[in-house]
Amino acid sequence: MTQFWTRIIVALTVLLGVNYIAWRWMASLNWDAWWIAVPLVAAETYSLIDVMLFGLTVWNLKLRKPPPRAPDDATVDVFITTYDEPLDLVMTTAQAAKNIGHPHSTWILDDGDRAEMRQLAEANGIGYVTRGEDWANMPRHAKAGNLNNALMITQGEFLLILDADQVPEPKILERTLGYFNNSRVALVQTPQYFINVPDDDPLGSQAPLFYGPIQQGKDGWNAAFFCGSNALLRREALMQLGLVGYVKETERNVRRALAASRSALKKARRSADAGNPLVAQMLDDVEAATDEGRRQLDAGFSLSEITYRVGRQVDQAVRTLVEADFSALQADLEEIATMELASVGEAGVPVVAGDAVERMSGRAWSPLGALESVHALLDAISVERNKEAQPVMPLATISVTEDMATAMRLHALGWQSVYHHEILAYGLAPEDLKTMLTQRLRWAQGTIQVMLRENPLVQRGLSWGQRLMYFSTMWSYLSGFTAVVYFAAPIIYLVLGILPVSSLSPDFFSRFIPFMVANQLLFQVAGHGIKTWRGQQYSLALFPTWIKACTTAARNVWFGRPLGFAVTPKARQSGGPSWSLIQPQITVAALLVLALVVGVARLAAGLSEPIGTLVNVGWVVFDLAVMSILLRAATYRGFVPEERKADAV
């Protein structure tokens, strides 16, 4: 019955939203102030699409029954990833993992390579894994690289991945392994829940809407994705993913190199050396070999066979040139030895006759330009992955957050995922604003990286439902740009009296108010009473973080600018209130307050229209209420358990 009403409200919200936005574009724009009118309606259109994607997500909620009994012979490796977290915190998680009921092996994956960590692990009978020499001076790929390294060392059929602070329940495997009785299930994700968060959750760490209706809705589309921790994965699926990824990347590299060969060879033909018949013949041979390589690639020949044949032809051409160069050099040396010396210089050094110099300068020497092009081509079409520590990387390394990209690739290969809605591990959330912002920035950056590198809307193998489920998460991080417009519009009206709509007529209110009411009702019904206000606040209030994530991720993907990777600290960072971290929001809040004062003054002076002023004053008050959470966040001193509060009293 709940699903029925959810779908009714989804349909109603979409209908009202389309009616409102269509009217806004066609009949309400104030073209005299297009510079704010168009951005505002564009922002509203973005928000409508966001609501539609959310509605599509909860349209197909999957409320799963308990899974069947886990097979007794299933082998499991429990991976606890760590870099620089406190040793006692890691060991607390490791000891709890060791006590999990189902037979398994527990491993600490220490990317910090700490001797103390190794000693503690060995003393407690826990496996210890760190990077080997193969990773020296190679891309490390952060957590994804840590996990990929461990995959090549361990053997368990299934993997339970835990962050260093996520303490598992003993029953976690008993409650989840049974899903893998379905041989096509590659992933089982469970919620992330934090024990150090007060009821009012000032940093917005708990995510009951995401680890609830959103993941359950994605599960209904077979698109519940890996969230980095508290998840089980099938090794077979990951290894298939790694091998397929290796083959695809190699094919792309070979195809790109062969396609680029024509321009490289044309450049070589324009050089002075190309007049040498031997060089011209070499370039003809190499061009023929690369053309044949492209034809074989299109025909589906093996990559190793293609690269071997082209490489052999290039090697032969290079060898022919080198032999010719040596022959020419030998002849030149013999000529020099028989040259008639013109005279002896001041230092007693023989001086070669002028006519001999002219003859030597006219000779065609080694065609270095052609050789450089040929060698570059030979290196480019190698199937070896010499720039990586290991050729096969099962977990995706295209993003600072490996989880979403890995899940999307698994789904594209036809694997299935499960969202198990039961808290089976307990973690630690950030306890200060700086740490929270670092964490949110990394999540957003990683998501935008995936969108720019492997946009789900064009990925083969995904159903349209899966494409939209992944895209909806990526789309949400673009909200920072719309937030700027939503803050600017009421400020502009209250200060300058410029209205972005043609008029605040009954037509406007009859369309806008029903849409907004239905929108809020949708969140309440879909969330089954879950508190969503804190999430809505941070979605708007963290607009500088979302904008920074989009711009830095774009610079990284398009221009190769380093992004960096920051491990989220597990302890509260020292210092007082973090006002400097929210300077943009403080500035916006000050402008909102100023606009509020100016707007009321303009109304009192009869310089503005009452209804417009009232609407925009209400808008400013709402914006300030949203931003007010940052006051709590900046002054938040960390979690204090109830028993400690009682003792203090």
Quick: pLDDT tens for 169-202.
999 999 999 999 999 999 999 999 999 999 899 9
Please state the domain count of the chain: 3
For helices 34-59 and 506-526, angle between their N-to-C axes, nearest 10 degrees: 30
Lowest mean pLDDT among 9-18, 20-29, 267-276: 267-276
Say if 623 falls within a structural domain: yes
* 61 pLDDT more than 70: yes
Cα end-to-end distance, the chain, whole Å: 47
pLDDT, position 376: 60
pLDDT, position 504: 86
Say if 468 falls within a structural domain: no
Same domain, 226 and 298: no
Long-range contact set of residues 585-592: C-beta below 8 Å, sequence gap at least 24: 585/541, 585/543, 585/544, 585/627, 585/630, 588/487, 588/623, 588/627, 589/624, 589/627, 591/487, 591/491, 592/487, 592/490, 592/491, 592/620, 592/623, 592/624, 592/627
Same domain, 278 and 361: yes
pLDDT category of residue 578 using cuts at 50, 70 and 90: confident
Same domain, 535 and 639: yes
- Whether residue 340 contacts residue 351, with contact meaning beta carbons closer than 8 Å, is answered with no
Question: Tell me, what CATH number does 451's domain have?
Answer: 3.90.550.10
Say if 69 falls within a structural domain: no
* 592 pLDDT more than 60: yes
Cα–Cα dist 524/538, whole Å: 18
Residue with tokens 């037979």: 103
CA angle 509, 515, 516 (to 5 degrees): 90
Same domain, 46 and 107: no
Residue that wins the pLDDT comparison between 578 and 553 = 553
pLDDT, position 147: 96
Lowest mean pLDDT among 76-90, 418-432, 521-535: 521-535
Entry pTM: 0.85
Say if 467 falls within a structural domain: no
Same domain, 176 and 300: no
Same domain, 192 and 264: no
> For 201-260, how does the pLDDT look when each residue is reduced to its tens digit (9 = 90+)?
999 999 999 999 999 999 999 999 999 999 999 999 999 999 888 887 777 777 777 777
Same domain, 140 and 113: yes
> For 348-394, how does the pLDDT look when each residue is reduced to its tens digit (9 = 90+)?
555 545 555 555 444 444 454 555 555 565 565 566 667 788 989 99
Beta-sheet pairing, 167-168 with 425-427: antiparallel
> For 409-467, how does the pLDDT look when each residue is reduced to its tens digit (9 = 90+)?
999 999 999 999 999 999 999 999 999 999 999 999 999 999 999 999 999 999 999 99
For the residues 32-42, what does the mean pLDDT come to?
Answer: 96
pLDDT, position 81: 97
Lowest mean pLDDT among 27-41, 150-164, 311-325: 311-325
pLDDT, position 564: 63
Same domain, 223 and 296: no
Same domain, 217 and 269: no
The H or E element containing residue 233 is: strand 231-234
Same domain, 515 and 640: yes
Domain boundary among 354, 380, 406: 380
pLDDT, position 641: 74
Full residue range of the structural domain in which residue 9 is found: 2-57+474-648
Tally of residues, the chain? 649
Say if 44 falls within a structural domain: yes
pLDDT category of residue 646 using cuts at 50, 70 and 90: very low
- Whether residue 608 contacts residue 499, with contact meaning beta carbons closer than 8 Å, is answered with no
Domain boundary among 345, 380, 415: 380
Say if 412 falls within a structural domain: yes
* 144 pLDDT more than 90: yes
Cα–Cα dist 634/644, whole Å: 22
pLDDT, position 48: 97
Same domain, 548 and 582: yes
Tell me the backbone φ, ψ of residue 387, rounded to 5 degrees.
Answer: -95, 5
> For 607-627, how does the pLDDT look when each residue is reduced to its tens digit (9 = 90+)?
888 999 999 999 999 999 999
Residue that wins the pLDDT comparison between 388 and 576 = 388
- Whether residue 218 contacts residue 467, with contact meaning beta carbons closer than 8 Å, is answered with no
Same domain, 337 and 398: no
Say if 469 falls within a structural domain: no
Cα–Cα dist 431/635, whole Å: 11
